[in-house]
Amino acid sequence: MRRLLRSLVAMAGAVALTSGCANGLAPRAAHPAPAVSPPATSPRAASPLAASPLVSNQLQDDYQQVIRNVLPSVVQIESSQSLGSGVVYDVQGHVVTNAHVIGQDRSFKVSAATGGQTVTARLVSSYPEQDLAVIKLDTVPQGLRAATFGDSSKVDMGQIVLAMGSPLGLSGSVTQGIVSATGRTVSEGGEGGGTGATIANMVQTSAAINPGNSGGALVNLNSEVIGIPTLAAVDPALGGGSAPGIGFAIPASMVRTVAGQIIQHGRVTDSGRAALNITGRTVLGDTYEPGGVAIVHVTTGGAAADAGLRTGDVITRVGGAPITTITSLAEALAAHRPGDKVTVVFTRGAKEEKAEVTLGEM
């Protein structure tokens, strides 16, 4: 079994990032809390300490119910280069996963996280820019069911979540944690099978994300998929080992947008991602440190061309964000939508100039 790990650069902090991941529902409410009567032999109210086992047992029951609800929607995906996870998207047998899980392959072996026969699947389309892909099962095994995707706008810090997938090839594994943060922008590396994507609005979680979890399900206690686990942090101080409790998932809203377009049109027709419509490269400054992005090509009729930018200009700021590398430019653009107006600062020769740019679409 091969494991795919790749480095990433986060928008802030000294921790590097890697794919979580390649080598990860029928909606039901969590159980209501049971009514507890005080013991007949004591007139005193139950103390918090006395009630804690009941609370603990209730949470355990909730976990187990969510696992029973969701695990039949999670699959293991085997490609020629890696092993990852996926989530059943609809009753027709479409499965959403990460683009880095499927790589360049067009056919796959898929098995349910709950066990059973292995079936074949084919690629519908991949969208590496958001590290998402959709495959379709040739036959839908009995017992598999479509997941329910939650509302990303309701995801908040502190919510309990479960991550389901096939870490290290251990199909049907579950880890638990909380939502540590929302709205993270993370850039993947392009080595080791990585897509090089810059992904905005990711959900950060403390649930363990390991190789093989990519493409699986990050689930709330209402049995809703709120994200697709995609990246795990690596601590350089640990020799590239995993940084415990720092993982990232693509939000459900983006998953639905991309998967829905792929299923309907066979490709992404409206990315919703802002662009300058240029090709660029990182350049070094006088101190041999990254100092901006030089424009190599300007798309005719694109955002940069319409604003007067041209080949050879070096972009140093977009809006309030300093630009030193291609990655920082992608992160700055990820914070905007097509049609937004931003001020782009650039150098042309030895002169610094500014241009008001109406952003285009990737």
| pLDDT, the chain, mean | 84
Q: Are 267 and 255 in contact (CB under 8 A)?
A: no
HSE toward the beta carbon, residue 260, CA cutoff 13 A? 9
Considering the candidates 131, 206, 223, 242, report the single residue annotated as catalytic.
131
Rounded CA-CA distance 285/12 in Å is: 22
Domain count along the chain? 3
Domain boundary among 265, 296, 326: 265
Average pLDDT over residues 10-30: 40
Average pLDDT over residues 239-244: 68
In a domain, 225, yes or no: yes
Considering the candidates 82, 100, 173, 336, report the single residue annotated as catalytic.
100
Q: Which residue has the tokens 């990315």?
A: 271
In a domain, 63, yes or no: no
Rounded CA-CA distance 359/308 in Å is: 13
How far the first Cα of the chain sits from its last, in Å, is: 35
178-206 pLDDT, tens digit per residue, is 999 999 988 877 766 678 888 989 999 99
Query: Domain check: are 260 and 306 in the same one?
Result: no
- Reported confidence tier of residue 19, pLDDT bands at 50, 70, 90: low
Rounded CA-CA distance 354/347 in Å is: 8
- Reported confidence tier of residue 285, pLDDT bands at 50, 70, 90: confident
Is the confidence at residue 328, as pLDDT, over 70? yes
Residue 113 identity (one-letter amino acid): A
In a domain, 46, yes or no: no
Considering the candidates 171, 180, 214, 242, report the single residue annotated as catalytic.
214
Q: Are 163 and 247 in contact (CB under 8 A)?
A: yes
Rounded CA-CA distance 136/102 in Å is: 12
Query: Domain check: are 238 and 317 in the same one?
Result: no
Query: Domain check: are 204 and 346 in the same one?
Result: no
Query: Domain check: are 133 and 152 in the same one?
Result: no
Q: Which residue has the tokens 């590496």?
A: 128
Respond yes or no: is residue 214 known to be catalytic: yes
**Strand 241-251 versus strand 225-235 pairing type:** antiparallel
Query: Domain check: are 253 and 154 in the same one?
Result: yes
Domain boundary among 234, 265, 296: 265
Domain boundary among 111, 137, 163: 137
Nearest CA-CA partner of 344 in 319, 309, 313, 314: 319
Respond yes or no: is residue 313 known to be catalytic: no
Is the confidence at residue 42, as pLDDT, over 80? no
83: domain CATH number? 2.40.10.10
Query: Domain check: are 310 and 169 in the same one?
Result: no
Rounded CA-CA distance 299/278 in Å is: 6
Query: Domain check: are 257 and 164 in the same one?
Result: yes
Average pLDDT over residues 213-234: 94
Respond yes or no: is residue 151 known to be catalytic: no
Is the confidence at residue 4, as pLDDT, over 50? no
281: domain CATH number? 2.30.42.10
Query: Domain check: are 83 and 185 in the same one?
Result: no
Q: Are 176 and 63 in contact (CB under 8 A)?
A: yes
Query: Domain check: are 303 and 238 in the same one?
Result: no
309-320 pLDDT, tens digit per residue, is 999 999 999 998
104-162 pLDDT, tens digit per residue, is 999 999 999 998 899 999 999 999 999 999 999 999 998 999 999 999 889 999 999 99
At 6 the pLDDT is 35
In a domain, 1, yes or no: no
In a domain, 213, yes or no: yes
Query: Domain check: are 257 and 153 in the same one?
Result: yes
Q: Which residue has the tokens 């810090």?
A: 157
In a domain, 332, yes or no: yes
Query: Domain check: are 162 and 255 in the same one?
Result: yes
In a domain, 49, yes or no: no
Beta bridge partners of 161: 177
Rounded CA-CA distance 196/43 in Å is: 65
Is the confidence at residue 241, as pLDDT, over 90? no
Average pLDDT over residues 241-265: 91
Rounded CA-CA distance 233/8 in Å is: 8
Q: The whole model's pTM is what?
A: 0.77
SS3 of the chain: helix, strand, coil, percent, to 5? 20, 40, 40
At 77 the pLDDT is 97
Number of neighbours of residue 163 by Cβ within 10 angstroms: 28
In a domain, 320, yes or no: yes
Domain range enclosing 256: 8-24+148-265
With a CB cutoff of 8 Å and minimum separation 6, the contacts of 238 are: none
